[in-house]
Structure 1
Amino acid sequence: MCTVAALALGVPVLLAPSPAAAAVPTYSVHLQNSVTGLNAADSGGTVAAHNPKGNEDHQQWTPVAVSGGHQLRNTDESGICLGRSGTSAVTTACGADGTTWTITAGTGSTYTIGVPGTSQYLTGVSSDSSAVRIGSSGDLARWYLTPVTYATTAMPSADTRTLDQVTFLTSHNAFANGVDGDFASFPVSLFPNQSWGVSRQLTDGVRGFMLDAYTVSGQAVLCHNSCDGVSGPVPLATDLQRMVDFLKANPGQFVTVFLEDYTASDVLKSSLASVSGLSDVLYRPDQEGVATSGWPRMADLAARGKQLLIFSDRTRASDVSSGYATRDTFGVMYQREWTVENYWSMGGGIGDSDWSCYSRWGTGRPLTTDSAAFHPLFVMNHFRDYTISGTAETDNGKLQNRAQTFCTPAARKKPNYLAVDRYDLGSPSPVTTVDTLNTYVLTPGQ
């Protein structure tokens, strides 16, 4: 993986001036489909839509003005351009016919990439196809020219920054720590995701907690994979109480809980109701018009003592079809309505990792999902199928590079939650990486 030296030092850089709204960029970009979020890549001479993969997989292109329009030159393949052969999108020598395009700015920061003098465009085929071809206009013929490296500006002041501008350190399987209680049966119990209990995690600066909730004897408890053979799982209410107590003792702090949720809604509601003081700190974006007006300022949340946001990975449709009360009636938000999240695994516990950054929920809700009024929070997963301390240490040391070089362009937004195993390992540490991301925001209009 090629690492830009400045990024390795934690300094976001600007490779070229940010263009005016209607201008064609002159710096390297990803051709990112506005519907699927997938990138146009050179796949052995054919152009295909691939999962975003940063500076790998021949996915970077540089627009260059030429007579009659622009060429799109592959950034890491000298002399190779995006071209066409009939209705096929191909790569070919830049001196060949069919490599000039008309690039036109459209709505919502998108562009069309057209065949000069025609009504034909570079287009995807469908939301579930990797094919890219020459065809008619439409949503699949709209592309983001996403900067390979974003321009940034300083993080707004503490009294003006909003929730969607902040990055939080997040503990994957925070309960699977071997300190607070049993979390899995053998052999899964041999691979704790974290080294410290939830109280220590809070003290260390963890502000996002991924918890797996199951039902045992009518109570929501925390287990990894299954509660079979787990003699003393921690009740969900116990960890939530730890968080509420911490928040009440630390005004101004903000915590988010992500539930991998295998509970019925009445069981979950009962568990939350048993947590003393939870309703005082629980933040309800559904009751405050966030979906139409955007996320609030952190200072406003602090002033009102609204410090805890809870998401469930269940869907509204699944609860309705099961006859359950919807979870947002008691303050648990359906995560897919409020966030985007990349696929959760980089691979097995040892060996090479896959840094592709694409939606865990498919092309129906790509990482690029956005609107002018509401920006979904971006949950960035950075961990393996199971936790080996040496691998986690290596992976965590590369977290900043992946966040800035791979996942920020893939989502067209900075991660709001960096979820890792063994947050205590890595150089730079995940804490340092979060601190770095919290020094800047992406410059609008790119």
Structure 2
Amino acid sequence: MATSKNPHWLANVLDKPYDRVSWLITHNAFNNKPDIGQNVDPNQHYGIQDQLTDGVRALMLDIHPLDGGLRLQHGGSHGSSYADLCELLGRLKTFLDKHPKEIVTLYCESYGDIATELEETFKGKGPGTGDFTGRIDWNVFPYLYHRPKPRHGHETVDRHKWPTIRELIDSNQRLVVFRELHDTKSTAPFDALDWYLDQWEYTCESPWNMKNWDDLQENTTNIPGRGKHGAPIFTLYHQPSGTTGGSAGFASSANLDEYLYARSMIAWKLTGKRPSPAVDFYRAGDKMPAQINTLDTCERLNKLKEVHGQLKFGSHLFGQTVHVRNVENTRFASRAYGLDLSKYGTTEPDQDVKVYNTFSFPLVPGETVNYKFELPGFEFKPDHISVSDFSKDVNIDVLVRKL
């Protein structure tokens, strides 16, 4: 990441699995004036090329069939402001070509039955792209991460296993793509694409439809947004909605490191999932030109060690919700990190923390950790996890037995 303004954080996580890294996600990354023109209510000030150069490694995109091609456009197929998908992929290919140790993730909202067109476009072809032939090369297919679709029924232990950052780099599968489908007649053509991963199989997210500061605080711990509750990859939305674009004024406060870090830490503790924050105007609130607060927050999160494991029931994952509490201080969010937590009930003896199949909790030096697992009618081995060494990750699986 030598060309990034935050060049070193990826080197610190090379041996971590992909799902155990906190990534900065730019919400509606394409919805910016440099990429799609002045006639737009933007979510980002900078174009995707600058986002990648700055160190952003996860982009949210809306893909629509429009005018015989695939376009990036926010708010549907109305209006004149859009970007061609192949142009974005061309910039992405150039970046991946020049930076062989970088990994990029795309979160794609795709509209319509466009599975065939998508694969062709990612292979450097596609409908409506003739004008770009010979001018740019957008064949990113060799970089795609391929993953077999999980079997339904009991979730096997390997269901949640992801390669490490180093393994993705060594295999050159450095482009991870998740999909969210809209207006499709059948998912089968998309399921056949082993690189276009079902977002709701592997990820979950906090509610995105927030309109003000109160909503932002209320939805720090309210995880029932979308996706499987047991999915370990967790998107923490950190921007208000209610308008076509974003609010730069709101972002200038919300994106401050002290607030974004506080909210991320509380969400991590109270959901049992390592968060990746999704933000508008990722550079809003920066204190210095060379400092990007939102990236600094993710670097701080990634420097923390964690308690990580799975709830195993025989050869499968447990598949039931389990209550977890910190028996030492009775509250997971005992330290507010500067955020008003009164509405979360921190005066109560317990926070209602529940985990499903997998769990992750941060190890913060100076904080006592003694996590206890509880569910009536079941026995857990170990039934609690106590940690005193905060210098390394603690990987431990909890075996569940019915009494």
Question: TM-score range, shorter-chain basis?
Answer: 0.5 to 0.7
TM-score by length of 1: 0.55
Counterpart-to-counterpart distance in 2, 1:157 and 1:277 = 30
Structure 1 residues 361, 389: CA separation in 2 closer, same or farther (over 3 Å shift)?
Answer: closer
User: Are 2:155 and 1:284 equivalent residues in the alignment?
Assistant: no
Aligned length: 272
**Sequence identity, in percent?**
27
In structure 1, the partner of 2:260 is 399
Counterpart-to-counterpart distance in 1, 2:157 and 2:34 = 37
What is the DSSP-based 3-state SS (H/G/I as helix, E as strand, rest coil) of the residue aligned with 2:207? coil
In structure 1, the partner of 2:172 is 305
Structure 1 residues 399, 252: CA separation in 2 closer, same or farther (over 3 Å shift)?
Answer: same
Deviations 1:72-93 (A, max 9, x none): xxxxxxxxxxxxxxxxxxxxxx
Counterpart-to-counterpart distance in 2, 1:218 and 1:174 = 23
Deviations 1:50-98 (A, max 9, x none): xxxxxxxxxxxxxxxxxxxxxxxxxxxxxxxxxxxxxxxxxxxxxxxxx
In angstroms, what is the RMSD of aligned CA positions? Answer: 2.9
In structure 2, the partner of 1:49 is none
User: Map of 1:358-437 to 2, 5 A cutoff?
Assistant: 358-359=222-223, 361=225, 365-366=228-229, 369-370=230-231, 376-385=232-241, 386=243, 387-397=246-256, 398-405=259-266, 407-415=267-275, 417-426=276-285, 429-437=293-301
User: Map of 1:58-77 to 2, 5 A cutoff?
Assistant: none
CA contact (8 A) 1:160 1:299 kept: yes
- Bigger Rg, structure 1 or 2: 1
Q: State the 1:200 CA deviation.
A: 0.6
Counterpart-to-counterpart distance in 1, 2:174 and 2:247 = 33
User: Map of 1:74-85 to 2, 5 A cutoff?
Assistant: none
In structure 1, the partner of 2:106 is 257
Counterpart-to-counterpart distance in 1, 2:187 and 2:173 = 30
Structure 1 residues 338, 328: CA separation in 2 closer, same or farther (over 3 Å shift)?
Answer: farther
Counterpart-to-counterpart distance in 1, 2:22 and 2:43 = 21
Structure 1 residues 290, 312: CA separation in 2 closer, same or farther (over 3 Å shift)?
Answer: farther
Counterpart-to-counterpart distance in 2, 1:408 and 1:323 = 32
Deviating runs (4+, > 6 A) in structure 1? 287-290
Q: State the 1:178 CA deviation.
A: 0.4
Q: State the 1:411 CA deviation.
A: 2.5
Structure 1 residues 443, 331: CA separation in 2 closer, same or farther (over 3 Å shift)?
Answer: closer
Amino acid at match of 1:194: Q
CA contact (8 A) 1:170 1:418 kept: yes
Amino acid at match of 1:258: Y
Counterpart-to-counterpart distance in 2, 1:159 and 1:431 = 17
Counterpart-to-counterpart distance in 2, 1:293 and 1:423 = 30
CA contact (8 A) 2:12 2:303 kept: no
In structure 2, the partner of 1:341 is 205
CA contact (8 A) 1:313 1:335 kept: yes
User: Map of 1:186-265 to 2, 5 A cutoff?
Assistant: 189=40, 191-230=41-80, 232-264=81-113, 265=115
What is the DSSP-based 3-state SS (H/G/I as helix, E as strand, rest coil) of the residue aligned with 2:204? strand
CA contact (8 A) 1:346 1:355 kept: no
Deviations 1:320-355 (A, max 9, x none): x5375124526211100111111113315x887444
User: Are 2:35 and 1:177 equivalent residues in the alignment?
Assistant: no
TM-score by length of 2: 0.61
User: Are 2:7 and 1:160 equivalent residues in the alignment?
Assistant: no
**Gaps spanning 5+ residues in structure 2: where?**
1-9, 125-136, 151-155, 288-292, 310-370, 372-403
